[in-house]
Amino acid sequence: MDFIPQTMLFLGIIPALILLYITLKDYEGMYKDKTMFLMFIIGIITGVLAIILEYITIVVGVIALLLFPILEQMFKTIVLNMPRFHKKPETAIYGLSIGLGFGSVFTPYYVIISSLNDGNIDMLILALIASIGIILLHGATGVLIGYGVYSSKLTKYFIFSVLLYVPIPLTSAVQYSSIGIIPYGLIVYWYVTTKIMPDIKSKKRRKK
């Protein structure tokens, strides 16, 4: 199966980059552009790896669905928990970047799976809608994991990220439930970017 056709990949990358740009408007000077975009690329690569693993193991059933949230957050954690990112407030920003990159690959994946299973235009639209919510959630959980690395509370924020994502795989078992992913993703993303991220900005200023 051709998991991520190049032309379809932009369906997820473009909204993810727009979201990244809008969110970081007030954080200029707090991060390195090169590192941020590198993290976005790493997010895409790890997202593809996660999709391949999930596609292979989906036959296991419900157990696999429950393990997916752990697997997906582990990919982000392995990258963000490198020593160079420890106790640095910008790690939360890099977490946002890797999370949005990670989430962007789920748009073409959802569209492909939907077209293979049904091909109905309504289902394709639902897949696209759900994928935007997925991008939001991965961006938000990336921030949480990055914040956990920065604040030396990784275990707490990793568990929080996993729990936030647990409802998502379960929506596949209920028809049309994916509609709820968008408002859910918006609420989580709003909370993280308005309550968690501003904290790193204020602490960075106090440190200076």
Please indicate, yes or no, if residue 2 is contained in any of the structural domains. Answer: no
What percent of the chain lies above the pLDDT cut of 90?
A: 54
Please indicate, yes or no, if residue 5 is contained in any of the structural domains. Answer: no
Per-residue confidence (pLDDT) for residue 205, from 0 to 100? 55
SS3 state of residue 52: helix
Per-residue confidence (pLDDT) for residue 166, from 0 to 100? 87
Tally the domains of the chain: 1
15-29, 43-57, 89-103: segment of lowest average pLDDT: 43-57
Nearest alpha-carbon partner for 82 in 137, 139, 144, 39: 39
The per-residue pLDDT for range 129-151, each reduced to its tens digit, is: 888 899 999 999 999 999 999 99
pLDDT of 202 > 80? The answer is no
Question: In which band, very low, low, confident or very high, does the pLDDT at 2 lie, cut at 50, 70 and 90?
Answer: very low
The per-residue pLDDT for range 147-179, each reduced to its tens digit, is: 999 999 999 999 999 999 988 877 765 556 677
Per-residue confidence (pLDDT) for residue 78, from 0 to 100? 96
pLDDT of 48 > 70? The answer is yes
18-22, 51-55, 102-106: segment of lowest average pLDDT: 51-55
More confident: 46 or 52: 46
Contact (CB, 8 A) for 151 and 204: no
More confident: 39 or 200: 39
pLDDT of 3 > 50? The answer is no
Residue with tokens 């299973």: 117
The parent domain of residue 110 ranges over 11-23+31-198
Distance from C-alpha of 204 to C-alpha of 143, rounded to nearest angstrom = 16
In order of 38, 61, 86, 99, the CA distances from 50 in angstroms are: 18, 16, 24, 13
More confident: 195 or 204: 195
pLDDT of 114 > 90? The answer is no
More confident: 149 or 62: 149
The per-residue pLDDT for range 82-104, each reduced to its tens digit, is: 999 999 999 999 999 999 999 99
Please indicate, yes or no, if residue 204 is contained in any of the structural domains. Answer: no
Per-residue confidence (pLDDT) for residue 1, from 0 to 100? 42
Please indicate, yes or no, if residue 205 is contained in any of the structural domains. Answer: no
Question: 3-state DSSP helix/strand/coil percent for the chain, to nearest 5?
Answer: 85, 0, 15
Please indicate, yes or no, if residue 72 is contained in any of the structural domains. Answer: yes
Helical residues (DSSP H) of 58-165, grouped into ranges: 62-80, 91-104, 106-117, 121-150, 154-165
pLDDT of 119 > 70? The answer is no
